[in-house]
Amino acid sequence: MGKNGYLPLFETKPAGGLVFFRSYAASIFIGICFICFHRVSYFPVTERWVWVGMFVAELWFSFYFFITVIVKWNPVFRSTFKDRLSSRFEEEELPGVDIFVCTADPRLEPPTMVVSTVLSVMAYDYPPHKLSVYLSDDGCSDLTFYALLEASRFAQLWLPFCRKLKVEPTSPEAYFQTTPEPVDDVFMANEWLIIKKSYEDMKNRIESITSLGKVPAYRRKEHNGFDEWDFVLSPHHHPSILQILIDGRDPNAIDIEGKALPTLVYLAREKRPQIHHNFKAGALNALIRVSSKVSNAPFILNVDCDMFSNNSKAIRDALCFFLDEGNGHEIAYVQYPQAFDNLTENEIYGSLRVLMKLELAGFDGNGGPCYVGTGCVHRRESLSGMKYSEELAVELKAMKYDKKIIGSASFNEEDCKALASCTYEENTPWGKEKGVKYESLVEDVLTGMSIQSKGWRSVFFNPQREAFLGMGPTTLLDTLVQHKRWGEGELQILLSKHCPFVYGRPNMPLKLQLSYCIYNLWAPNCFATLYYVFVPSFCLFRGISLFPKISSSWGIPYLYVIFVHRVHSLVEYVWLGGTVRGWLNEQRMWMFKRTTSYLFAAIDHILKLFGFSKSAFAITGKVADDDVHRRYEQEIMEFGTWSPMFTVLATLALFNLLGLIAVVTNNVAIGDARMKIFDVFGFQILLCYVLVFINLPIYQGMFFRKDSVSQSACGRPSPRLAQQI
């Protein structure tokens, strides 16, 4: 029972096993102290700079470990009471929710995938007349518009079907792929087949027109909206296009059962070649402004176009936080974790498992999770730049949500185009103090930090049934490029006026400011990692020992820290639902990202600071050819496309392999003295073995793989990875 006599709509519980984790962290800290004492006490007379480099790298790893401990020190997990929400609010008293879906390129993000996501969020278990779905098409493609038009028609069948069968997930593509035909009820089985055939017919129409590359004239006659493309010069040069395909305020906008349909809006904001459009952040800000005139819902959910709804009650879960009488008024956004539908069993390219399931819960315990750009429900006031205050809190507590917007859809459609013009934001606070922020490649993280710095709280919620499922990268290069952008964006934040230790004061607690460093320091991590990957192996060639002897008692803290730290990492990963092989792949990708993605991120940002480079937003492809997809399903690492990142990986892999071969050869040659050699160089030899094991897929790609390949950068078929160096 709450302090005012109400039953709370959510509860918060600390994570279990904290005593074990804190004991582990304390023991690692003691081990680190012994290692530091050894480094200082046994300072060599010769090769001292190599020794200093090792010490500095270990100090960096220790500092980063301290940051991770802060993040995981007090994670909290939350649960909601949707039954209390339903008993407290009638349908007409529930607030409206605007849903933003963003797409940018129909070649990388197929229209069939986009509309399946749109249909999934239209089918939420929520009063449909309270939902408004907006699709932002930054590719300004008539193919995407045609697909959305088809989806608006299919929604008349799909939404009643979802209500009747309580469909989960509500994405038709995902549902029909994972759910067998019902056999117990002949009537329902017949309806199931009818709906499936209707969906497949719609999908085939969309795919056939997408393969043509243009919408035929007879299809363009189906809707006046296609006339807008007569004024489109290119995807980067066109006026604003705004089409309301379903107007939820229209009494004739109903499904086959006579129930209201959600509002459905298509938006392609204006673009001009000479005006920077600020990528996804600019698209979201245009949607915020346009939606404020069309529906103006007090809450906004944004999802990526590849991230369909997997839990039809996700909106009700989020509202349990916002509408809680005790603490709801101070909550700016509810962040759901990202999860992926296309991961292989052992997650060949790693995953965001620990980040999304544990680290964000740790953020929540320290003051609130960061905003990760998708799967997030925002309060419109906070996203529009308002600061939290006691006066605002009083207004929010007294707010009623049964208001209706009066107006003509056609009037709004024309009136709102100016809000999506490319010059609207000139000399305004948009992108700086209002809306999604522009000054970083990771606009989501910066936006969340800005909201928290204005006094708002955020919460992390991970329901038993995952709220959203998306598509992870299916090639090594896509993964590395994605993390390169993230690493560079995080470094931008750290080295700017938006550094959490400056930007976050005084409304963000120190432990939350420190928590942001776990990502802000991704790029700087590359230098210590590269030193550890390269220098110990190099010193093996020259006979320089960098660690204590295996027989020495000083080797114990090194062994303890390395072994216990990795065992804890494995236990943590498996506890979160991963596999042992998945953890090994995660360790491999951890090293690959640190030695390539974050290295190039650091270099690019340094060049940008000196004016030699500009920021660019890379869209991760959501489609792959059959060979690439087959190798991904078989968990075979993909090296088809040339990249300088592969050159770095191949060089480091060969260097460590040669170092290991040299050690093995020398041990055979000297016979009886091999134990003495192992005693002196044991730690370096073990490190070399581990690095060679991690790089096994690199060696396979260079020397053993014979499968067909993608085209090389110069347009010719190329051997796997061998020509990368």
Residue 711 confidence class, pLDDT cut points 50, 70, 90: very low
The larger pLDDT score, comparing residue 505 to residue 83, is at 83
pLDDT of residue 397: 81
> Does 2 have pLDDT greater than 80?
no
Question: Residue 623 above 60 pLDDT?
Answer: no
Q: What is the DSSP letter of 133?
A: E
Q: Is 679 annotated in some ligand binding site?
A: no
C-alpha distances (whole Å) from 677 to each of 455, 544, 547, 685 are 60, 11, 13, 10
**Looking at the predicted structure, is the pLDDT value of residue 674 above 80?**
no
Query: How far is it, in rounded angstroms, from Cα 136 to Cα 270?
Result: 11
Mean pLDDT to the nearest integer, 373-386:
95
Section 694-715 average pLDDT? 69
Task: Please give the average per-residue pLDDT across 433-449, as a whole number.
Answer: 94
The one catalytic residue among 324, 444, 478, 604 = 444
User: What is residue 715's predicted lDDT score, i.e. its pLDDT?
Assistant: 35
Angle made by CA atoms 401, 402, 404, in degrees to the nearest 5: 110
Three-state secondary structure along 288-302?
A: HHHHHHHCCCCEEEE
pTM (2 d.p.): 0.93
CA-to-CA distance for 475 and 225, rounded, in angstroms? 37
Cα 272 to Cα 233: distance, rounded to the nearest angstrom: 10
The answer to whether 236 touches 273, Cβ cutoff 8 Å, is yes
For tokens 């010490």, the residue is 55
Task: Choose from 181-195, 248-262, 703-717 the range with maximum mean pLDDT.
Answer: 248-262
Amino acid 717: pLDDT: 37
**Mean of the pLDDT values across residues 61-84?**
97
pLDDT computed for residue 562 by the predictor: 95
Distance (Å, rounded) from C-alpha 323 to C-alpha 312?
A: 19
> pLDDT of 95-142, one tens digit each?
999 999 999 999 989 999 999 999 999 999 999 999 999 999 999 999
C-alpha–C-alpha distance, residues 236 and 610, integer Å: 28
What percent of the chain has pLDDT above 70? 92
What six digits make up the tokens of 437? 């922020």
Is residue 722's pLDDT more than 80?
no
Helices vs. strands in the chain: H and E counts, helices first: 27, 12
- Angstrom CA distances, 600 to 323, 527, 529, 594, 721, stand at 44, 11, 14, 10, 19
The kind and range of the H/E element at 609 are helix 598-609
For residue 20, pLDDT over 50 is answered with yes
Residue 617 pLDDT greater than 60, yes or no? no
Do 369 and 336 touch, CB atoms closer than 8 A?
no
User: Residues 689-714: what's their mean pLDDT?
Assistant: 76
Half-sphere exposure of 716 (CA within 13 A, CB side): 4
Q: Count CB atoms within 10 A of the CB of residue 32.
A: 20
Instruction: Give the span between the Cα atoms of 298 and 401, in whole angstroms.
Output: 8
What gap in Å lies between CA 238 and CA 273, rounded to an integer?
Answer: 9
Q: Is the distance from CB of 557 to CB of 633 less than 8 angstroms?
A: no
The pLDDT, as a whole number, for residue 123 is: 97
Over residues 421-426, mean pLDDT:
92
Selected residue with higher pLDDT from 659 and 237: 237
280 is in an annotated binding site: yes
Q: Which of 138, 247, 317, 478 is catalytic?
A: 138
* Contact present, 131 and 175 (Cβ < 8 Å): no
pLDDT of 710 > 90? The answer is no
CA distance 708 to 719: 9
Determine the average pLDDT of the residues in 291-304: 95
β 263-268/131-137 pair status: parallel
Helix (H) or strand (E) holding 13: strand 10-14
Mean pLDDT estimate for the chain: 90
The sign of the dihedral angle between the CA atoms of 177, 178, 184, 185 is: negative
Q: Which of 44-53, 157-166, 588-597 has the lowest mean pLDDT?
A: 44-53
Determine the Cα–Cα distance for residues 411 and 389; give it in Å rounded to an integer.
35
Q: Which of 327-336, 469-478, 635-644, 673-682 has the lowest mean pLDDT?
A: 673-682
pLDDT per residue over 386-404, tens digit each?
Answer: 999 888 888 888 787 766 5
pLDDT at 708: 56
User: Is 98 labelled a binding residue?
Assistant: no
316 has pLDDT over 60: yes
Angle subtended by helix axes 644-670 and 476-494, to nearest 10: 100
Residue 188: predicted pLDDT: 85
Most confidently modeled range among 396-405, 599-608, 669-678 = 599-608
Question: What is the rounded average pLDDT of the residues 313-332?
Answer: 95
Q: Where are the domains of the chain?
A: 96-297
Q: Is the pLDDT of residue 457 over 70?
A: yes
User: Taking 70 as the threshold, does the pLDDT of residue 38 lie above it?
Assistant: yes
621 with 478: CB under 8 angstroms? yes
Strand partners, 136: 102, 267
What pLDDT was estimated at residue 186? 79
Active site residue 250: no
Q: What is the mean pLDDT of residues 617-641?
A: 75
Checking DSSP bridges between strand 241-246 and strand 263-268, what pairing results, if any?
antiparallel
Most confident of 35-49, 143-157, 423-437: 143-157
626 labeled binding residue: no
Whole-number CA gyration radius for the chain: 28
Give the model's pLDDT for residue 583. 97
Cα separations (Å) of 274 from 271, 422, 717? 9, 10, 38
**If you search the block for the tokens 């994405």, which residue do you land on?**
171
Joined together, the tokens standing for residue 419 give: 């809000």
254: β partners? 260
pLDDT at 46: 77
CA distances from 29 to 25, 69, 564, 566 (A): 6, 10, 12, 15
pLDDT score recorded for residue 616: 57
pLDDT above 60 for 718:
no
- The two tokens of residue 409 are 């859809």
Res. 716 pLDDT band, cuts 50 70 90: very low
Cβ neighbors of 694 (< 8 A, separation 6 or more) are 587, 588, 591
Range in 266-270, 327-331, 624-628 with the lowest mean pLDDT:
624-628
201 a catalytic residue: no
Q: Which residues contact 463 (CB under 8 A, 6 or more apart)?
A: 80, 311, 314, 317, 336
Q: Which of 461, 452, 440, 479 is nearest to 591 (CA)?
A: 479
Residue 612, both tokens: 């030699």
Of 70, 75, 76, the C-alpha closest to 519 is 70
